[in-house]
Amino acid sequence: MNRRGSVSRKTRETEVHVELDLDGKGEFSVATTIPFLDHMLGLFAKHGLFDLTVKAKGDTEVDYHHTVEDIGLCLGEALKGALGDKKGVRRFGFASVPMIDSLATVVMDLSGRPHLNYRAEFSSDRVGDMDVELFEEFLRAFSSAAGIDLHVQLAYGANVHHSVESIFKALARACQQAVEVDPRVRDVWSTKGTL
């Protein structure tokens, strides 16, 4: 089964290319010009066992918003493309991941009905040179493009780096679980017959 997605997007604000292999080994090559986001996308690949390539550049002299959002859109589109008709996938994913002083939970449904419920409060409004509000925008774009009902909750966290890292690791583990193929499921896991 070839479960790979590839997406390129070019606008006046950004240029993004994403390749995703759902059945990879956690290998990644990420270059977005935003170092902390590179780190988080690498964690997503490693902890989801996804092979991931991301190349992006954008109008970061304005701010990081356009670039972060468009990477989220492309990653979501690549995931949707890699899933194809979603036959056999487990559909639901759940993970709670600690990171030192932080604990994040991510729950998802590959339902085809995009929604984001995001509950996270951070001890600072920045991590590195990024505004933490951009992670919500990234996740909204990702869930919208992929058609994921996505629920993210940061229970607590003192250190912002640890808090965001726990979210991305939980996202990776929940996503890995949701896209996993169950050999007992012959069609899609829905009474409707489609997702």
Tell whether 187 is covered by a domain. no
DSSP track, 127-184:
ETTEETHHHHHHHHHHHHHHT-EEEEEEEE-SSHHHHHHHHHHHHHHHHHHHHPBPTT
195 domain-assigned: no
Q: Does the model's pTM come out above 0.85?
A: yes
Q: What is the pLDDT of residues 79-130, one digit of tens each?
A: 999 999 999 999 999 999 999 999 999 999 999 999 999 999 999 999 989 9
pLDDT in tens, the chain (195 residues): 799 999 999 999 999 999 999 999 999 999 999 999 999 999 999 999 999 999 999 999 999 999 999 999 999 999 999 999 999 999 999 999 999 999 999 999 999 999 999 999 999 999 989 999 999 999 999 999 999 999 999 999 999 999 999 999 999 999 999 999 999 998 998 888 888
Q: Is residue 156 domain-resident?
A: yes
In this structure, is residue 194 part of a structural domain?
A: no
CATH at 138:
3.30.230.40
Which domain does 131 fall in, by range?
A: 4-179
Query: Three-state DSSP class for 63?
Result: coil
The H or E element that residue 5 is part of is strand 4-10
- For residue 185, tell me if it sits in a domain: no
Q: CA geometry: angle at 42 spanning 73 and 81, to 5°?
A: 35
160 inside domain: yes
Q: Nearest to residue 81, comparing CAs of 141, 19, 139? A: 19
Q: Give domain status of residue 85, yes or no.
A: yes
Q: How many domains does the chain have?
A: 1
Crossing angle between the packed helical segments 133-146 and 160-179, to the nearest 10 degrees: 10
